[in-house]
Amino acid sequence: MKILVCISHVPDTTSKINFTDDNTKFDTNGVQFVINPNDEFGLTRAMWFKEKQGASVDVVTVGGPETEPTLRKALAIGADSAIRVNSEAKDGYQVAKELAKVVKDGGYDLIIAGRESIDYNGGMVPGMLAALIDANFVTNCINLEIDGDNVKAMREIDGGKETVSTSLPLVIGGQKGLVEESDLRIPNMRGIMMARKKPMNVLEPSNAETETASVKFEKPEPKGQITLVDADNLDQLVDLLHNEAKVI
């Protein structure tokens, strides 16, 4: 079984976010980038298939040279090789088109992506990729078992969970539950050294057209001042809610 894990190169959630050029561009100065958490759950599940079933595991991202350290981390975790499509990731459709070409050329059976990235939270790439390559698709996936070409998957739905049966080729949008946080792997020294020798293939893009563009970024409003009220002073609480907050 050939597995391709799609990796997004995203800012760490602890990074301080700023914008430049009149809030039209993201300022990357001083920002630490990591593997998108939803993708990391998928990568860890792919490692399980590699160890238990002898699957081969490649990782791919769409981005410039600055994304290679993130791919190297995925290689250190255990992926066999990495693919970087040498193009700026501008929107979900363009990324899906570039990934679709990689999948078709590589003949992959299972494509694991995160259900969404934590920067734009678009949640569109896995579904569009599945449509472009005419593969089955399961999103919000929290469990995955494969026997030959037969697949049993569990996904979160409104109000509960659903178990579905499908077959390869398959695209999944994974999330926490596909593996638990305690199962995530930290690269060890041996893995880091081996990652340096593993292939990093750089592909030129197919120049897929974009369908959307970011016009301007805006930060959320800063949190307002907090007034603490003694638990026994209900009269003051009611007065503040009525006269200041105006919610009653």
**Interval 187-241: pLDDT, tens:** 999 999 999 999 999 999 998 888 888 899 998 888 878 889 998 999 999 999 9
What is the number of structural domains in the chain? 1
Task: Give the CATH number of the domain where residue 30 resides.
Answer: 3.40.50.620
Residues 87 and 140: their CA atoms lie apart, in Å, by: 27
In a domain, 209, yes or no: yes
In a domain, 34, yes or no: yes
pLDDT per residue over 154-165, tens digit each? 999 999 999 999
pLDDT of 245 higher than 90: no
Place of tokens 């792997």: 185
DSSP labels, 115-159: SS-TTT----HHHHHHHHHT-EEEEEEEEEEEETTEEEEEEEETT
In a domain, 237, yes or no: no
pLDDT of 111 higher than 90: yes
In a domain, 105, yes or no: yes
In a domain, 243, yes or no: no
In a domain, 98, yes or no: yes
Q: pTM of the prediction?
A: 0.88
Task: Identify the domain containing residue 87 by its residue range.
Answer: 2-219
Mean pLDDT of the residues in the chain: 94
Through-space distance between the first and last CA atoms of the chain, rounded to whole angstroms = 61
Phi, then psi, of 189 in degrees rounded to 5: -60, -40
In a domain, 226, yes or no: no
In a domain, 71, yes or no: yes
